[in-house]
Structure 1
Amino acid sequence: MWGSRRDRDRSTVVCIACGESLSREDAREYDKEGDRWSRRDKEFEYLCKGCYRGLSHQPRDDLEALLSEVEAAAGGDSQEAYVRAYQREVQRRYGDPDAEPDADAEDADGRGD
């Protein structure tokens, strides 16, 4: 007979968000590819339950590709260089998130208010 799931993995893992060390059974798996059900040839990262609850579960189409491109562009200089490169690339692709809405833009009803 198979042993209980609790007996399988008693290792300690580290939450990638807050750095807390916790038992594997108390952690949640995080798959950066967004498909934790496909397990072949994968190594998972882990989140504590608190960080997992705070995680956005929205689709993240092309996010990993964007992050990889930014990492290559930043050249591994520093975390600050990485963040600046990420901000530039997001602004280039999607526009300035802090920009005021275009005054000429109209609402869906066409009234512009």
Structure 2
Amino acid sequence: MWPSRTRTETVTCLACGIECPRDEAREYDKHGDRWDRADKTFEHLCKSCHRELCHHPRAELEDLLVELEAGERDRDAFLASYLSAVEERYGTLEEES
């Protein structure tokens, strides 16, 4: 038998921790590919936290974080290596006038 359409699934926002109805949340895929749904489970963000996200493409970000041992190194050492790697690969980060 099919589940009731009126049943509301509750999810927890991964950013702020509040619980909200699934239909009031946004799916989050840490790999940046929420359209490829095969064999995936998604985390969720409440609408407020989703609005605050940067929605620019994240190509190569996960690989770079793994390569630089994010979460396994001292914060200051990680940030220094991250900034160095980004500038080496993509140039300096300067605002356009």
One-letter identity of the residue aligned with 1:14: C
Percent identical among aligned pairs is 43
Provide TM-score, normalisation by structure 1.
Answer: 0.62
Q: 2: CA distance between counterparts of 1:58 and 1:75?
A: 23
- Which whole-Å CA distance do the structure 2 matches of 1:75 and 1:33 have between them? 17
Q: 1:44 to 1:75 in 2, by over 3 A?
A: closer
Counterpart Cα distance in 2 of 1:80 and 1:88: 12
> Separation in 2 of the partners of 1:35 and 1:91?
25
Q: Which amino acid aligns with 2:83?
A: Q
Residue of structure 2 in register with 1:20 after alignment: 17
Q: CA deviation at 1:30?
A: 0.7
Structure 2 unmatched ranges of 5 or more: none
Q: Where do residues 49-64 of structure 1 align in structure 2 (5 Å cutoff)?
A: 49-64=47-62
Pairwise CA RMSD of aligned residues? 2.7
Indicate if the aligned counterparts of 2:25 and 2:44 stay in contact, CA closer than 8 A: yes
What do residues 48-98 of structure 1 show as CA deviations (whole Å, max 9, x unaligned)?
A: 211212223332222222222222xx5712333332221111011112224
- Structure 2 counterpart SS, 1:7: coil
User: What is the aligned length?
Assistant: 93
The equivalent residue for 1:79 is 75
Q: Distance in 2 between matches of 1:33 and 1:75?
A: 17
After superposition, the Cα gap between the structure-2 partners of 1:24 and 1:81, relative to the gap in structure 1 and judged at 3 Å, is farther
Q: Distance in 1 between matches of 2:46 and 2:76?
A: 26
Asked which structure has the greater RCO (Cα within 8 Å, sep 6+), the reply is 2
**Structure 1 unaligned spans of 5+:** 100-113
TM-score calculated relative to the size of structure 2: 0.70
From the CA coordinates, give the structure whose radius of gyration is larger. 1
